[in-house]
Amino acid sequence: MGYTVQEKSIVDFCESKTESLSNWVRKVKCKSLNAKTKRKRDLRVIAILSNSLFRAENELLHKQRERARRWAQMQADLGLNTKEEEAAKQQREKIDNFWKNDLSVPLRFAWVWIRRPPSWLPLGRGRS
């Protein structure tokens, strides 16, 4: 089901620094939780794990933000998202304008009648 030793080394080699840092943070969280739940706690180990975890999480967050910023800058430089965003924005505006028009009031009124017919209708609540 898993992968062999040779494939594992290839995966580890291809893993980015952010992914390896993320994996390291996950492992330290498990160790920290394990150290905190032990009956015989070692406060020094817990303090070291907490401090290193805090620093690693901050570094990971910084790298993720930097990567997102660079990706957004590259998209803006290449103009990748302008056409798609513009088309999606126009489509959303059309839908919003449709529901903001006067046409939407009769539709909403009809929907209320369908959901809750008045009591004077034979199918309404006035049925005996």
Residue 127 is encoded by which pair of tokens? 């049925």
d(CA 70, CA 64): 10
Query: 39-54 burial, b if ≥16 CB within 10 A, otherwise e?
Result: eeeeeeeeeebeeebe
Domain boundaries, the chain: 19-78, 79-117
Distance, CA of 91 to CA of 108 (rounded, Å): 21
Q: Nearest to residue 49, comparing CAs of 21, 30, 22, 64? A: 30
Which of the given ranges, 17-26, 58-67, 83-92, 106-115, has the highest pLDDT on average?
A: 58-67
Overall pTM surpassing 0.85 (yes/no): no
